Structure 1
Amino acid sequence: MADAKYFTTTKKGEIAELRIELRSDRRERRKEAVKKVIASMTVGKDVGSLFPDVVNCIQTDNLELKKLVYLYVLNYAKSQPDLTLMSVNTFVRDSADLNPLIRALAIRTMGCIRVDRIIEHICEPLRKCLKDEDPYVRKTAAICVAKLNDMNPSLVEDQGFLDLLKDLLADPNPMVVANSVAALSEISDCSPTAAEATKLDYATISKLLAALNECTEWGQVFILDAVAQFEPQDGQEAQSICERVVPRLAHGNAAVVLSAVKCLMKYFELIPDDSEYKDAVLNKLAPPLVTLLSAEPELQYVALRNINLIVQRKPEIMKQEIKVFFVKYNDPIYVKLEKLDIMIRLTSVENIVQVLSELKEYASEVDVDFVRKSVRAIGRCAIKVDSSAERCVRTLLDLIQTKVSYVVQEAVIVIRDIFRKYPNQYEEVIDPLCKNLDNLDEPEARASMIWIIGEYGERIDNSAEILSTFVDGFQEESTQVQLQLLTSVVKLFLKHPTDTQDLVQKVLNLATQESDNPDLRDRGYIYWRLLSTDPVAAKNVVLAEKPLISEETDLLEPAMLRELLAQIATLSSVYHKPPNSFIDGRVPLRQLKNPVLEEITAVPPELQNEDSLVPETESQTSEDVQNPSETITPQVPEDNLLGDLLSLDLSSPLVLGGMNTFDIGGSSQRTMIQSGGDLLGDLGGIMFDPVLPNLTQTTQNIQNVPMGTTDVGFDIFNQYSTPVLNPFQLILPKQVVLPAAKGKGLEVSVTFARRNKDIYMDLTLFNKALLPLKEFAIKFNKNSFALAPAGQLNIVTALQPNKSIDVSLAVNNTNPVEKMEPLNKLDVAIKTEIATHIFTCFVPYHVLFSEDGKLDPKTYLEAWKQIPDANESVCTIDTSLDSQGIIARLEANNIFNTTVKSIEGQELLYMTNKFMNNLWVLSEIKISNQFPVTSVLISMKSRTMEVVPGVFDSVRAMLAT
């Protein structure tokens, strides 16, 4: 409270008064003045003009005053770099002071001053402090190395600071060891080369473990995290490390406990399974984890998220502790939901009775979200533990009798999954479900009920009547319900054709003629064509036996789980996402194993060494074209992704490439139907007769098809898949590139096209001279994409005056590379018997897109994340096409669709294209769901941003209507 007076100075002329006080001969007065300056700086006043006067006070043996001056210098160093440089000598002198506190203070301050010109002065003092006799100075200097690495990594490696840090790992003082470990970890995270240089061996790890007992709790965390990065050579080394880590499980700090668990989880894998020691350690893991659940809710949640990962890998660790995950009435909702998830993971035959009893109690809670999760958990138990299915179904029936709307709806969803797991069983629940139709108002519940009716329509007396009530409000239903209703009506029609002919005719008409949803229309047309063409195929496709579902508790893939277990006690284990998905630059690109992704993110060899680029000359002679010099190549900047993509569900049904995914056999029966041919007719004109044909003949045919006919497969679609010339391929008209006036009578018109996966240069040669032209030859100069003629102009006879000839020249990429401006510029020389003519043309970007430019959704997501936001460009393009039309146009020109997603009233298309020289461009197209569409917003990312404007222009031409 005594220093509060310094924050109440608001007098005019205060700066002048402070300057006078700072120049006082009395040390106490100077000290008071510096305190006032710091107080003013703290509340946001600009006291930078006092910099020289404050720095003059640094020459003092008073430690308190020196700390205040150092604090001031740190704050204003960036805005006053020149004046800061004047105080460097004082810092250097203080780093050799007799007082270790002053030495440490000086080296800490120098490390925190982020001014480039200071860096060169810090090396010698830092080197001395790393070898200082006082451990306090050494531990401070260790952290200073990490700060210096953040400013200039190459300097740290060149000056040998990494080796000095590694030497400190053997320091007798445990705090020095802990700080050195922390500094090395920070440096290795930021620099892949440093990570290799700072790898620890078993001898060093043993020294670190020896320092554990004497370290502070946070020092222990740093050491344990470093130990967790070590790769033992054999099980003996792993067991030795575990023996020394196990005592940390009894520590009072939760971070130490979790770091110890992380080490043990890793080294378990190297200890033989039949080892008694392994079983003993496993038994010791549960008590400390259980103890963490008695802390405050926030800490409980972090512990639960980590336990969630652990039980996925080693459920036996917590199998006897399932009761600690039973929910308490006063737990926050986020803790309740996490406990519920872990409880289901640990459910087994031995404890299913207890778990079901708990879940039934939870279903009577007041928290709606928790009740929904509890009801869904009952269904997960039924699917996971086969012997408990009947008990779970009875429990669900009891819950349905409560008539609570959200309970009933969740129960319907769960029972649908139980029917999928146990077909033709527990059908007695259908009647109670049908009695609760009025309580179903949520799309997923209505869709689930409709699926049940369609699947078991032959066992429900009034199934057609029930579906008719849904069909009456078809246009008001959500898309999810409409799609399921369409499928269920078709199923019922195939089972009871005579009774449901009018119903299926009505729903097909609603889906195909009165709906604006392309997915619904497409599915309707597919069903209509199936029903009217081949009843046998229709029954075998629509009523095909569905694969049984399994308990999908373990959502994490093994590789992802392994990576997250290595990140226990970090944010990554709380988010259940790898670090590179939310922290830029934490995982080096070299660690990514996807070869396609490595190809995308790698800098192409023909676009490197930009510093060696020379400017293009103003004019070029024919000799320049015929005698290309050495290739000169550019450098592409290094790069990092997309907000709404991070929530992308990569397991959902997608629209990929030239294949459309339709759900024609229930929620999991996916059938791939080739859309490149004539299956849906000519989409550009005569899609279908607007009046659907009557299905009377189909009804008669279906009645004659025995149930269970199999082995028809999907060959029925082959008759519709004859490839046709794609009308959406962009072909630009020829442009005159060499007028007759400049070509001495020879006029040349050029365009480029892609045919049969090859590039062709289409030329029209017009002889406006008085003499015939013959002996044609052509050559390309060096260019950005290495384009070169694959042969010579095929002109056998002389080109007579006032005559023209069309020539198509194949083009390959065997030429030397030189970056042009713009990139698609191409200098061409055409030689005749009379003269050589040089002209410039521009290759359309879309012609350079290769046919292998399609990525799977996961690779696309990772690649987008690896490209920084600075390498993103956005453009609005006018078009009236919907999403299907856009995909068709772009894929016809080798820009491929990765996936489609609907979010917040708009459709998102994720597209990729690859240039023939392995340059990749990733695109996101946002389309409003409001009709008519007038424009789309396109975002593009690439490691070579020079190509993006040209790609934008090509897309604009493709989507022009």
Structure 2
Amino acid sequence: MSSKDAKRFFNSGAKKGEIHELKQELKTPDKSKKKDVVKKVIAAMTVGHDVAPLFPDVVNCMQTDDMELKKLVYLYLINYAKTQPDLTLMAVNTFVKDSLDPSPLIRALAVRTMGCIRVDKITEYLCDPLARCLKDSDPYVRKTSAVCVAKLYDISPELVEERGFLENLKDMISDANPMVVANSVAALSEIHSMSGKPVFDLNSQTIFKLLAALNECTEWGQVFILDSLVDYNPKDSKDAESVIERIIPRLQHANCAVVLSALKVILKFLRYVSDNDFKGPMMKKLAAPLITLLNTEPQVQYVALRNINIIIQRHKEVLSSNIKVFFCKYNDPIYVKMEKLEALIKLANEDNIDQLLLEFKEYSTEIDVDFVRKSVRAIGRCAVSIAESAQKCINVLLDLIETRVNYVVQEAVIVIKDIFRKYPNKYESIISTLCENLDTLDEPEAKASMVWIIGEYADRIDNADELLETFLETFPEETSPVQLQLLTATVKLFLKKPTEKPQQMIQLVLSNATQETDNPDLRDRAYIYWRLLSTDPEAAKDVILSEKPIIADDTSALEPEMLDELMNNIGTLASVYQKLPDTFVARVRPMVQSASSFNPEADVVENGAAGDVIAEQSAPVDVPDLLGGLDGLNVSAPAPAGDAPAPSGGAPDLMGDLLSLDVGGGAPAPAPAQAAPAQPAGGFDPFGLDSLSAPVSSMPVQQTELPVILAADKGKGLEIRGKLERSGGQIVYNLSFRNTTAGVLDGLMIQFNKNSFGLLPGGALQVPALQPGSSGAAKLPINVNVQGANPAPARSALQVAIKCSQLGVLYLSDTISLGAVLTEEGRLQYPNFQQMWQAAPPANSQTQVFQVAGASQDAVVAKLESGGLFCVGKQMNAAHFSGKLVLGALALVEVAMQPGSPAVQVTCKSQRVDLLPLLMEFVGKTML
């Protein structure tokens, strides 16, 4: 590909005719025509067209009395302010002027828009209008300003605290207008969740004010206030009763969110009530609103049922006498039916089991296969949880088996296995009925269950060897779970009936399992059985035929601590996911730190700007915001690597929220004698990504041995070595340049094409002019931004363009190692890891076996941790790791190994399926 073709490939360009036409039309003095043109601009912006070049012209339209035109311009500003931070300053005077307008609508619109423009450079200008509007005479302006404080806190927490805005919000809780109170509570709650420290302290006086405003708030204002009450711990039983009585009327509200929030508060406060005469009737009052929620549209029913399934795990008595409301209707969507079944299983007891079994049996004749399977399984779960009714459940299952419906029979076999495990040696009389249906079993789980039953009761089944032999005929083609069960069942048969035929069968199975399979689990188990049987058959009996632990009732599947947390999150997304909030969203965001926190002795020059600032980031950042934060800094020559300040960075939350970090550097150092001029913004940009790169200096480092990424013969005499690494929380690109030409090479610039991880140069290359035969090196900080990320599938390729004044543009391709893009925020708590691991669907998992000579668990853990993964838990033969990539995707890894065996089985899971091959390749290379 020629240089011209390559440039066309990476930067296709854009049509300018339409933009030029709109630019001319925006200059018209006709206000009506100007409004129509701005509408065209907004329409183009809405469908995804880039109309950023019109920014100055649209901003000039702000100074108008036309409310509609002003709103359109504000909408445009909000959308493009991040990419045009310098030009945003043009609008500041108009914002300040509008915040003083006689109309409260315009004052509120101005402060709302300023809060939505998330640019660091205008935060100082926002403070005075915001302080004035927080004390405005109009409640509409005050309530809008309250929300703006939370938005400002997200950008600059220190500024909010310094200007006393938090105290203003706390004072506004006493406001006479209930909507002002509600918005103040919402803002304080949001700030409290972001800050990680107590911001919103609730006491009896505050609670009284909130309860007083509750009756007059809008429905969403009531939700905000009720949700905040959950954080209050009553002083005594009387205090809790008083709050409950004030909230009880909210249970009759038409808005479902209000009802669920009220239920959440009441259920928490009932824990503090000691008077049973108060608690009993109150519990009965909770049933009616929950039943009402089940008579709404299906989507609301589903949310209600997910919350009900949490509530009844703690308080069955609330709905135990109302099971009929959970009976499935013929026109219920399948997702509602499934949740109703879960509720019925949890509410089952000796008194209502007969009624429930009739319902389950009826459901088992439905057309929907998934619903039928769930119904059959529900019968088995009731048998496991209610010992007194197990026989009744088994009779129903036998009736269903008699229907000879394939999937019904198979599901019945699966649940009967669980019943046998719960009640061993009690209901084996039904085994003969199960054996009559062997021919209908074709699903792996059903086959594995039947094989387990045959092996467990081989001494009581006359033709157990013949039954197992029919399964062994297809042993090589069976799935792994079936093969494992066949292996164990055959060994059990041999131990219980050590005759000639079982001996032949065990030899055949062990031979197939050790020589004809690639499954390490099956092979290892076969070797263990083989050695046990050959060395000590009696020991084999003690191990293999020992009594099994009785399975537990799973109707209360949630751990007590997790259930407590979910009870406090009723009515939120956590209750629908039935996961802890911290597992899918990070509430505490990293605080923005000042330059002095990194180097207390940093020199301060005029206007408070540091003499030498190096912007370093280790997390996805909003680069345009960073541009705005650095525009006023005097960026001089970089300090040597040894004096570089310790980098700092933050990690994005699990929802991909991006924060800007303002990171300062150390004291200035003398510039090199032949330093190249700083790369100007808007200079070299072959990929069209100039607006995404921050104009800060790179950091020269001593040249080290790096891999060649562009050979001299392909680089017109310039040899380039480089490698992406992660150092101290910062992604850096270590680069080395060697001039093999006969002339001087200078003016080096760098740019990346869009890539899967949003990597962008964090500054200009500061490489001295290269004399013939000489070399130079640089350590380039790398920024991360979603605007620079390619959509899936993820690839490790990094396309780089290097421009040299003498050689023109050189193109090369490098590889992004996952070790460089794994952040320091990837360590999960082991319970959270287990929950995510179990919840991951099969499609989000990949397994591969590596041969690692002399592998040991400690060595593998050390290698993977040095590569950027975190070991979160160890078992006897397995270790679990977690990690988080720069754009927020989680990586979960399990490494399993057997002592003395070079085989290492690696299983990787992630919410992004396209990352699994890269993750697997990284783990494999790191272990070797």
Q: Could you tell me how far apart the structure 2 residues matched to 1:229 and 1:126 are?
A: 28
Q: Could you tell me how far apart the structure 2 residues matched to 1:388 and 1:401 are?
A: 21
Tell me whether 1:890 sits opposite 2:859 in the alignment: yes
Q: Could you tell me how far apart the structure 2 residues matched to 1:641 and 1:129 are?
A: 31
Partner residue, 1:555: 557
Q: Could you tell me how far apart the structure 2 residues matched to 1:41 and 1:373 are?
A: 48
The letter for the 1-side match of 2:339 is E
- 531-540 or 121-130, larger mean C-alpha shift: 531-540
Task: Note the 1:40-79 alignment, pairs <5 A.
Answer: 40-43=44-47, 48=52, 50-79=54-83
Match of 1:503 among 502, 505, 508: 505
Pair 197,888 (structure 1): closer, same or farther in 2 beyond 3 Å? closer
Matched-pair contact (CA < 8 Å) for 2:850–2:905? no
Q: What is the CA distance between 1:564 and its match in structure 2?
A: 1.1
Task: Note the 1:680-759 alignment, pairs <5 A.
Answer: none
Q: Secondary structure at the match of 1:214?
A: coil
The letter for the 1-side match of 2:248 is V
Partner residue, 1:360: 361
Tell me whether 1:578 sits opposite 2:551 in the alignment: no
Match of 2:91 among 87, 93, 96: 87
Matched-pair contact (CA < 8 Å) for 1:319–1:346? yes
Q: What is the CA distance between 1:371 and its match in structure 2?
A: 0.8
Q: What is the CA distance between 1:264 and its match in structure 2?
A: 1.1
Matched-pair contact (CA < 8 Å) for 1:611–1:635? no
Q: Could you tell me how far apart the structure 1 residues matched to 2:602 and 2:472 are?
A: 68
Task: Note the 1:339-738 alignment, pairs <5 A.
Answer: 339-499=340-500, 500-583=502-585, 585-586=586-587, 634=646, 637-639=649-651
Q: What is the CA distance between 1:183 and its match in structure 2?
A: 1.1
Partner residue, 2:229: 227
Partner residue, 1:110: 114
Partner residue, 2:775: none
Tell me whether 1:126 sits opposite 2:130 in the alignment: yes
Q: Could you tell me how far apart the structure 1 residues matched to 2:255 and 2:861 are?
A: 60
The letter for the 1-side match of 2:176 is P
Q: What is the CA distance between 1:374 and its match in structure 2?
A: 0.7
- 479-488 or 887-896, larger mean C-alpha shift: 887-896
Partner residue, 2:831: 858
Q: Secondary structure at the match of 2:322?
A: helix
Matched-pair contact (CA < 8 Å) for 1:889–1:958? no
Q: Deviations over 1:756-798 (max 9, x none)?
A: xxxxxxxxxxxxxxxxxxxxxxxxxxxxxxxxxxxxxxxxxxx
- 110-119 or 162-171, larger mean C-alpha shift: 110-119
Q: Could you tell me how far apart the structure 1 residues matched to 2:452 and 2:646 are?
A: 59
Pair 85,574 (structure 1): closer, same or farther in 2 beyond 3 Å? same
Q: Could you tell me how far apart the structure 1 residues matched to 2:874 and 2:473 are?
A: 30
Pair 374,885 (structure 1): closer, same or farther in 2 beyond 3 Å? farther
Q: Secondary structure at the match of 2:232?
A: coil
Q: What is the CA distance between 1:176 and its match in structure 2?
A: 0.6
Q: What is the CA distance between 1:16 and its match in structure 2?
A: 5.3
Q: Deviations over 1:408-446 (max 9, x none)?
A: 111111111111122222222111111110011111111
Q: Deviations over 1:248-271 (max 9, x none)?
A: 000000010011111112111111
Q: What is the CA distance between 1:20 and its match in structure 2?
A: 5.9
Q: Could you tell me how far apart the structure 2 residues matched to 1:313 and 1:892 are?
A: 40
Q: What is the CA distance between 1:57 and its match in structure 2?
A: 3.9
Q: Could you tell me how far apart the structure 2 residues matched to 1:351 and 1:94 are?
A: 67
Q: Could you tell me how far apart the structure 2 residues matched to 1:226 and 1:191 are?
A: 16
Tell me whether 1:275 sits opposite 2:276 in the alignment: yes
Give identity over the alignment, percent.
Answer: 55
Q: Could you tell me how far apart the structure 2 residues matched to 1:428 and 1:256 are?
A: 54
The letter for the 2-side match of 1:128 is R
Q: Could you tell me how far apart the structure 2 residues matched to 1:588 and 1:515 are?
A: 50
Match of 2:185 among 181, 194, 197: 181
Matched-pair contact (CA < 8 Å) for 2:850–2:924? no
Pair 473,887 (structure 1): closer, same or farther in 2 beyond 3 Å? farther
Q: What is the CA distance between 1:480 and its match in structure 2?
A: 0.9
Q: Secondary structure at the match of 1:549?
A: coil
Q: What is the CA distance between 1:185 and its match in structure 2?
A: 1.5
Q: Could you tell me how far apart the structure 2 residues matched to 1:939 and 1:58 are?
A: 53
Pair 468,61 (structure 1): closer, same or farther in 2 beyond 3 Å? closer
Q: Secondary structure at the match of 1:197?
A: coil
Q: What is the CA distance between 1:489 and its match in structure 2?
A: 1.5
Q: Secondary structure at the match of 2:215?
A: helix
Partner residue, 1:316: 317
Match of 2:268 among 248, 266, 269: 266
Tell me whether 1:151 sits opposite 2:152 in the alignment: no
The letter for the 2-side match of 1:171 is D
Q: Could you tell me how far apart the structure 2 residues matched to 1:895 and 1:46 are?
A: 43
Q: Deviations over 1:102-129 (max 9, x none)?
A: 2111111221222222111110110010
Q: Deviations over 1:550-608 (max 9, x none)?
A: 3211111011111111111111111111122222x215799xxxxxxxxxxxxxxxxx9
TM-score for the superposition, normalised by structure 1: 0.63
Q: Secondary structure at the match of 2:191?
A: helix
Partner residue, 2:305: 304
- 418-427 or 13-22, larger mean C-alpha shift: 13-22
Matched-pair contact (CA < 8 Å) for 1:457–1:463? yes
Pair 22,935 (structure 1): closer, same or farther in 2 beyond 3 Å? farther
The letter for the 1-side match of 2:113 is T
Matched-pair contact (CA < 8 Å) for 2:115–2:152? yes
- 11-20 or 132-141, larger mean C-alpha shift: 11-20
Q: Could you tell me how far apart the structure 2 residues matched to 1:202 and 1:119 are?
A: 35
Task: Note the 1:870-881 alignment, pairs <5 A.
Answer: 881=850
Partner residue, 1:798: none
Q: What is the CA distance between 1:507 and its match in structure 2?
A: 2.0
Matched-pair contact (CA < 8 Å) for 1:611–1:634? no
Pair 589,142 (structure 1): closer, same or farther in 2 beyond 3 Å? closer
Matched-pair contact (CA < 8 Å) for 1:641–1:864? no
Cα RMSD of the aligned pairs, angstroms, is 4.1
Q: What is the CA distance between 1:45 and its match in structure 2?
A: 5.3
TM-score for the superposition, normalised by structure 2: 0.66
Q: Secondary structure at the match of 1:240?
A: helix
Q: Deviations over 1:502-536 (max 9, x none)?
A: 22222222222333222222222222222222233
Q: Could you tell me how far apart the structure 2 residues matched to 1:515 and 1:36 are?
A: 66
Matched-pair contact (CA < 8 Å) for 1:640–1:864? no
Q: Could you tell me how far apart the structure 1 residues matched to 2:36 and 2:590 are?
A: 53
Partner residue, 1:327: 328
Pair 573,537 (structure 1): closer, same or farther in 2 beyond 3 Å? same
Matched-pair contact (CA < 8 Å) for 1:512–1:521? yes
Pair 101,855 (structure 1): closer, same or farther in 2 beyond 3 Å? closer
Tell me whether 1:207 sits opposite 2:209 in the alignment: yes
Partner residue, 1:809: none
Q: Could you tell me how far apart the structure 2 residues matched to 1:154 and 1:461 are?
A: 79
Pair 935,314 (structure 1): closer, same or farther in 2 beyond 3 Å? closer
Pair 536,239 (structure 1): closer, same or farther in 2 beyond 3 Å? same
Matched-pair contact (CA < 8 Å) for 2:533–2:540? yes
Pair 895,89 (structure 1): closer, same or farther in 2 beyond 3 Å? closer
Q: Could you tell me how far apart the structure 2 residues matched to 1:174 and 1:101 are?
A: 19
Q: Could you tell me how far apart the structure 1 residues matched to 2:652 and 2:46 are?
A: 35
Pair 505,204 (structure 1): closer, same or farther in 2 beyond 3 Å? same
* Count of matched residue positions in the alignment of Structure 1 and Structure 2: 668
The letter for the 1-side match of 2:651 is D
Matched-pair contact (CA < 8 Å) for 1:421–1:549? yes
